[in-house]
Amino acid sequence: MLAYFTYCQLWIAVVAHALWLDVVKREKQTWVKTIRFTRKPARG
Give the tens place of pLDDT for each residue, 1-44: 888 888 889 999 999 998 998 888 888 778 888 888 777 777 76
- Which residues form the domain of 2? 1-26
Q: Is residue 13 part of a domain?
A: yes
Q: How many CB atoms lie within 10 A of CB 38?
A: 5
- Predicted confidence at residue 13, as pLDDT, reads 93
pTM above 0.85, yes or no: no
- Predicted confidence at residue 44, as pLDDT, reads 61
Burial of 3 (0-12, 13-18, 19+ CB in 10 A): exposed
Q: How far is residue 30's CA from residue 33's CA, in Å, rounded to a whole number?
A: 10
Residues 6+ apart with CB under 8 A from 29: 21, 22
Q: Is residue 37 part of a domain?
A: no
At CA 31, angle to CA 30 and CA 36, rounded to 5? 150
Q: Is residue 31 part of a domain?
A: no
Domain count, the chain: 1
- Predicted confidence at residue 12, as pLDDT, reads 93
- Predicted confidence at residue 10, as pLDDT, reads 92
